[in-house]
Each structure stands twice: as structure tokens, then as C-alpha cells.
Structure 1
């Protein structure tokens, strides 16, 4: 067994995953990068000290690839996986009737089913490393209250929230902490994409036009660090996410009205 801790991060080739890798590396952790983008993982790895990271090609939609990636990381890090960061995800906006079956299936498969597969596959490793091991899921402010124009994305992230809450109960006897982070709009390369196949407008433009803030990706990484070392179940990030969390709990009629206004402005998915 190792004397240092280790974390496997899906979506580690860019964006939030890259920032989380850098944050945990600074904290002295051994970092595993998991992604379908091998070039991206190499770029992330180049930002980390030599000998403190490993890369594992992974399509989170494939249970067999999950088993292989976790086994390989377990060997690479010296025999103990302390944290799985279930971070890989894709954006999807647009009215439900405008989305293709392929877009719907891909979003649910990556954002929700992939997270479920990862949790199931990681369980024996986290149990072995416990007590004190942790599963941290990337949820979203979209998991706090449904939003028009992002139905499937919200459904996927609300599923991640429910998974987090359920496993927090299921895995407590095994000494495994379960938590999630809930970003709103993060300035990563994903925002350069259009919201869905029928649109050519970048998500970043929609966010800017709505007057909402972008949360620095470094803030998200710091929240991951606090989530792993703290005791909160849900961790909203940024002003927008915190407002939604408060309104969803105490002022549901207000958030319903504001959500309709945002939908009419053409705003696309968050987190």
C-alpha cells in the first residue's frame, strides 16, 4: 500500500478534470487521468510532476472499460484508490422536440449511465481503501431545478444528484463518503460548442447574453478538494448555483417564473 493518496478523474483530458488533476497534484496526491482523449490526457499530464500521474483510456459508457481502467490505475498508484472523481460529461441544450434520438441517448449514457457504471465498478476499491475514501460526482446547478431548453441535460444531472444521495446512505456503513459538486456556468472549451445539432450558436454566447457569470475552473477544482476533505453532501459552486439552490428550496414559485424567463431568452445548459 502507498503512503500517499490517489484519485482517478474521468474527463481528465481537459476543462474541469484538468483543473482538478492540478489541484490534487499540488496537494501531494497521485493522479489518474481517464478520458477518451489520449492527446488531452498527455497535455494534462505535462502540467503535473513526472512520476505522479498515469493515463487510462476510458469511454465511461462501457462497463468493461471501467473495470480495466480501475484495475490499471490500482496497479499504477501502488494498490489503493482513495477517490473516484466521476467528472466526464457533455452539454446538451435545445427544446426536447428539436433533439435527435442520438443526442438524447449520448447525453444520458455519458452523464448518467457512465456515472452509475463508474460508481459500481469503483465500489470494491473504495471499500478496500476506506474508511475515508470518497466518491465525488460532477453534478450541476441543472440538478437543482429543471430548466426549459435543457430538459435532457437536467434529467441527467438530477439523476446524478439522486445517485449521490442514495449512495451516501448505501455506502456509509462501508466508510465511503459520497458527495457531489454543482457548478453553474464554467468557462471551459465545452462552452465553445453549440447546444445541439440544430443550432450553430455557442453556449458561451447564450450565457453572456443572459447576463450570468462564468465561474473560473480553478474555483471548481478547489471545491472538489473541499468536497473530498469535508462533510457536505452537495456543493453548489458560484453565485448562480447558490441562488438556484436557495430558491429551489425556499421559493419554488420564484424560480419557476425566472426559469421561464431564462428559457425564453434562449439560455442553454449549465455545469
Structure 2
């Protein structure tokens, strides 16, 4: 690293081994930022590093459920980047779907621990670093269109994503006096490996198949990366990504009864209770 990197802005990304985290790493790296990517998947991290332009990049294995590991990872990344962290992108998450009665305890706990505890731990651990680079530092959390309205088979996942939006609203108020921006991004269905999963152990059909059969849009992951850039440089609280998320947000605000009926009808078509 050269001495000029001391003033280089630095983004710390969780869930950086694939999908949204990888796209954000590539996007910020191409714009001259120092990029740290973290994940439990070390092989995926190395693949992400290979896609980032320039030499200002770093990776660290991190399980976001481990609060002590957060402190180690952040200190290591800050040292690699010349002592600073300007943006924490709390992105690590898993998808969990299916009727609540069918989910196992392990499936429920994993979703809560990664999608919710991980976000809280990340914000708490990153706070002193963001203080030092404020004003202009930022915490960006990945929520979801599932945090705008809940649907059948989405109870646990929606609970975490509603919570992530609430965390952003709380910390926006809490940290505003110090000049730290806080926001959430709310993607709908994004072209990532999560779509190739089934949601939970009792399902055989891929999420992607169900999305396409429902006639819903799958948004390119690069659109999410641009939205994170906008969140870091803008001043909104929640950022919607993709036509589906924007339509759903509009309908939930102005036609909540219709949204409720649509969700109930969809549950009936899928065999829900």
C-alpha cells in the first residue's frame, strides 16, 4: 500500500463472497475506494478480490453471529486501509421461507442470528470507526421488499427485514448529531445465488422458479450496487431497488387492503392455510 492510501475512503462489506456484497465491492473498487470484503466463505472471498480493480482491497473471514469476531475483523481491516473505515455495509443474510409450522428451530435461529443479530453487532462494532470518519461516514443495511409487507411463507425472513428497516430508522436518529448517515436498502428479487435456493429443507422448487411463474421482475445485481453508492452519498433513509419493491411500497401505502387480499389469494394458490 502506498502512502496515498491514507486518505482513501474505505468500505467494509459483509456477505462479500457473492451476490450483492460482491457487486458492491466491485462497484466501489472501480471508483477508487479501498474495499474490505468479509464472509464465512473464504473461497468466495478470494474470487471477489479477483474481480475488484486495483490493489486496494482486503478480505477477512467473518461469521457475523460472533460479536467478538467483529472487533477483530474491523481492527484488521482498518489497519489494512490506513486506519479508517468510512462505510459499513451490513449485507450478510440468508433466505428462509416456508410455513412457520414447517420450519425447524435451527432454520429459525440461523435466520434470526445472521439477518438480525449480525446487523446489530455490525452497527455496534463499527460505530467508533464511523465516529472517527464523520461527518460523511455511513452505515447501510440490507433490508428487503419483504420488510415492506409480509407474505405467506415469509414470517421469519420478513420479521428480520422489518427489523432491519427499524434499526436504520432508530440509528438514523441516534447517530445524526454525530454526522453518521444511516439507511437501509430494500431490494425485491435480485439476480443472486439466493434465487437458486429453495427457502427451507421441505421445499424442492427453487425460489427463482416461483418468482418467474408469478410474473415478477428479477433485478440485475448491479442496480443494487448503484443504490448502495447512492445511499452513501445521499440523504434518504430507505432506498427501494427494483420495480417490484417500488410498486409494492406504493401499494402498501395507498392500497393496503388490496395488498392484504393479494397476499391471501397468493397463499391460497400456493396451498397455504
**When the two structures are superposed, what TM-score results if normalisation uses the length of structure 2?**
0.96
Aligned partners of 1:227 and 1:128: how far apart in 2?
Answer: 19
Q: Secondary structure at the match of 1:171?
A: helix
Which 10-residue stretch deviates more, 202-211 or 1-10? Answer: 1-10
Correspondence list, 1:38-77, <5 A = 38-77=42-81
Contact 1:134 1:228 in 2 (8 A): yes
1:86 and 2:85 matched = no
Contact 2:30 2:53 in 1 (8 A): no
Match in the other structure for 1:121: 125
Which 10-residue stretch deviates more, 45-54 or 232-241? Answer: 45-54
Contact 1:149 1:266 in 2 (8 A): no
Structure 1 counterpart of 2:30, from 9, 26, 33: 26
Aligned partners of 2:267 and 2:31: how far apart in 1?
Answer: 40
Match in the other structure for 1:229: 233
Contact 1:115 1:137 in 2 (8 A): yes
Aligned partners of 1:26 and 1:112: how far apart in 2?
Answer: 30
Shift of 1:263: 2.7
Residue-pair matches, total: 268
Aligned partners of 2:79 and 2:139: how far apart in 1?
Answer: 19
Contact 1:210 1:262 in 2 (8 A): no
Which 10-residue stretch deviates more, 159-168 or 141-150? Answer: 141-150
Structure 1 counterpart of 2:242, from 232, 238, 244: 238
CA RMSD for the aligned pairs? 1.4
Shift of 1:159: 0.5
1:137 and 2:141 matched = yes
Unaligned runs of 5+ in 1: none
Shift of 1:50: 4.4
Match in the other structure for 2:166: 162
Aligned partners of 1:260 and 1:204: how far apart in 2?
Answer: 21
Match in the other structure for 1:212: 216
Match in the other structure for 2:15: 11
1:193 and 2:205 matched = no
**1:183-231 deviation line (CA, Å, top 9, x unaligned):** 0001111111111011111111110111101000011111111111111
Q: Where do 4+ consecutive residues of structure 1 move more than 6 Å?
A: none
**1:30-79 deviation line (CA, Å, top 9, x unaligned):** 00001000000000000113421000100000001111110001101111
Aligned partners of 2:153 and 2:165: how far apart in 1?
Answer: 20
Match in the other structure for 1:102: 106
